[in-house]
Chains A and B, each alone.
Chain A
């Protein structure tokens, strides 16, 4: 098979993979704390396995990343809705272990603990956070400190990673640090905004453009494939034919 044909086929498959990503982003355009996923094409360094007088065809590999840009803050008026402004993550104790999330629509459990939508405990500096908000008004400051009747109580833990791109999405808006994510540390430049949620940073306009672009690219790769196929057919059917 022609090298070019292989390349066109690969790029076609890649466009369909991009479509999967765009669909996923569009589906999550109203998921709180969602970060849009991107697919990048990396050109690999030459392997050197080719003879020096031939030009080695380019080899590519797909790399997924996340657009970590800030989502818009949306005021909800719920005391336990917390939005993060900055690169940090909340730390949550799930039955599978500790996970990280930016989905800050929390609730109070019947035991007055701050929990996620599934009932998992949100972790503070001293472990799970217990609030008694029944007869006291509580406020949460931008550092995550919890004030009950103006007395500073526990502090919500907000952490960040040196390489947040390697936080592996697990679904349910939770992340698990991958091997390259680095050690977690206390977030310096992240503010906690009470009574708000961070909307998904999916830009419907950008996704629409991506949709049009990938479809046209897919069609042109198919055209390239057809051209190769047509020239092959010519070789097989016409050249060498005894007339």
Chain B
């Protein structure tokens, strides 16, 4: 009975973690370039009570053994990098990536990767993210610029008042052997880890890293209805695990009253 209580307690812990993940997904339903997470669970070790092939009382052999499972544990929280929907913003510095690539940005001297392409121009005329991190390689927009174009291949061109190109630059995109292994550091930024592998630089449209779409943003890939359904299931499963603990408690109490 104690084993049952602890197994159900691990189940409650797992559902709690699941709810935490759902809450974070729902909170970021409108975050540009956000990628949802999913908890991955596995069963805990089994205790062998009776080995298979053992002798049965009264002759014969056990065809199967008997093992008692001890519950569940979270094994990982995987980011799901499926493509989010695109929204048309008509802002010339909003760039959506169609494909697997990431932008590289420099924040306080550290390199990070992001898919949130809502760029701005800072006071020194450089392209930057809303947090003030400059995408790499840095690109400076001349002050006389009247409009900017970015083609699907990542070539950025600033045009002056007389429709003459003033300066051009080139965006690079980066991919990872295992993007699910990226560590998420908040502010829409990701950092490579041992599991993700090293970034591989590529030119949009050429190296399979994806293409750029100017005037579009990639919204979060969170599906509200799906998260709601998951939330209901997680809550019910949590309640039922607690019921199993209550049942164990009631049974122990009943057994205790045998000896009066």
Give A residues with C-beta under 8 Å from B.
Answer: 12, 15-17, 19-24, 26-32, 34, 37, 44-47, 59, 61-65, 76-78, 80, 103, 105, 107-112, 117-119, 134-136, 163, 165-166, 168-173, 178-180, 204, 207-208, 211, 214-215, 218-219, 222, 225-226, 229
Q: Which chain A residue has the least Cβ–Cβ distance from B244?
A: A23
A208–B254 Cα distance when bound, in Å, is 20
Residue from A28, A165, A207 within 8 A of B43 (CB atoms): A28
Q: Given the known inter-chain contacts A105-B78, A169-B46, A179-B53, please indicate yes or no for A78 contacting B180, CB distance below 8 A.
A: yes
**Cβ B177 vs Cβ A109 within 8 A:** yes
Taking CB as reference atom, which chain B residue is nearest A37?
Answer: B69
Q: Report yes or no: A180 in contact with B75, Cβ–Cβ below 8 A.
A: no
Sample of 22 A–B contacts (CB below 8 Å): A16-B1, A16-B248, A19-B244, A20-B4, A23-B4, A24-B69, A64-B66, A77-B80, A78-B180, A103-B42, A109-B197, A110-B177, A110-B194, A119-B195, A169-B43, A170-B45, A171-B45, A180-B63, A211-B247, A214-B247, A215-B247, A218-B251
Q: Which residues of B contact A31 (CB under 8 A)?
A: 41-43, 72
Query: In the bound complex, do residue A26 and residue B197 qualify as a contact, i.e. CB atoms below 8 Å apart?
Result: no
Closest Cβ of chain A to B7, distance in Å, is 4
Contact check, B52 vs A168: say whether CB atoms are below 8 A apart.
yes
Given known pairs A44-B57, A44-B58, the reply for A28 and B244 (CB within 8 Å) is no
Q: For residue A172, which residues in chain B have a CB less than 8 angstroms away from its CB?
A: 42-43, 45, 75
Residues of B contacting A61 in the complex (Cβ-Cβ under 8 angstroms): 56-57, 62
Known: A27-B11, A171-B44. A215 touches B236 (CB 8 A): no
Instruction: Write out the residue numbers on chain A whose beta carbons fall within 8 Å of the beta carbon of B15.
Output: 30
**B95 at interface by CB-CB < 8 Å:** no
| CB <8 Å contact, B41 and A21 | no
Cβ-closest 9 pairs across A and B: A27-B11, A135-B208, A110-B197, A77-B82, A171-B45, A24-B69, A23-B4, A20-B4, A23-B7
The CA-CA distance from A122 to B59 in the complex, in Å, is: 41
- How many angstroms between the C-alpha atoms of A64 and B247 in the bound complex? 21
- Tell me, yes or no, whether B23 is within 8 Å of chain A by CB: no
Give chain A residues whose Cβ lies under 8 Å from the Cβ of B198.
110
Interface status of B175 (Cβ within 8 A of chain A):
yes
Residue of A29, A37, A78, A222 near B11 (CB, 8 A) is A29
Residue contact B42 to A30, C-beta cutoff 8 Å: no
Confirm or deny: B130 has a beta carbon within 8 angstroms of a beta carbon on chain A. Answer: no
Least distance between A232 CB and chain B CB atoms (Å)? 13
Q: How far apart are A69's CB and chain B's nearest CB, in angstroms?
A: 17
Using A110-B197, A134-B200 as known contacts, say yes or no to A19 and B247 having CB atoms under 8 A apart.
yes
Q: Is the CB of B7 within 8 A of A168?
A: no
Q: Which DSSP category, helix, strand, loop or mixed, fits chain B's interface? A: mixed
A80: chain B residues within 8 A (beta carbon)? 180
Indicate if the CB atoms of A78 and B71 lie closer than 8 Å: no
Q: Please report the C-alpha to C-alpha distance between residue A185 and residue B198 in the assembled complex, in whole angstroms.
A: 39
Instruction: List 10 additional A-B contacts (Cβ < 8 Å) besides A26-B7, A170-B46.
Output: A23-B3, A23-B248, A31-B43, A63-B64, A111-B177, A135-B208, A211-B243, A214-B247, A218-B251, A222-B258
* Complex: A121 Cα to B36 Cα, angstroms: 26
CA distance A179 to B52 in the complex (A): 8
Is there a chain A Cβ closer than 8 Å to B150's Cβ?
no
- Given A23-B248, A107-B178, A134-B177; A30-B208 close (CB under 8 Å): no
Chain A residues within 8 Å of B257, by CB: 222
In the assembled complex, the CB of B10 is this many whole angstroms from the nearest CB of chain A, namely 5
Q: How far is the CA of A34 from the CA of B11 in the complex (A)?
A: 13
Decide if B76 is an interface residue (CB 8 Å cutoff): yes
Give B259's nearest chain A residue, CB to CB: A229
Given contacts A23-B248, A110-B195, A180-B63, contact A222 B255 (CB under 8 A): yes
CA distance A163 to B62 in the complex (A): 14
Residues of B within 8 A of A110 (CB): 177-178, 181, 194-198
Asked if A78 meets B81 with Cβ closer than 8 Å, knowing A20-B3, A23-B11, A30-B234, the reply is yes
- Decide if B244 touches A107 in the complex (CB within 8 Å): no
B178 touches A26 (CB 8 A): no
**Alpha-carbon gap, A112 to B179, bound state (A):** 11
Task: Report the minimal beta-carbon distance from A208 to chain B, rounded to whole angstroms.
Answer: 6
B237 at the interface (CB under 8 A from A): yes
Return chain A residues, CB-CB under 8 Å to B202.
135
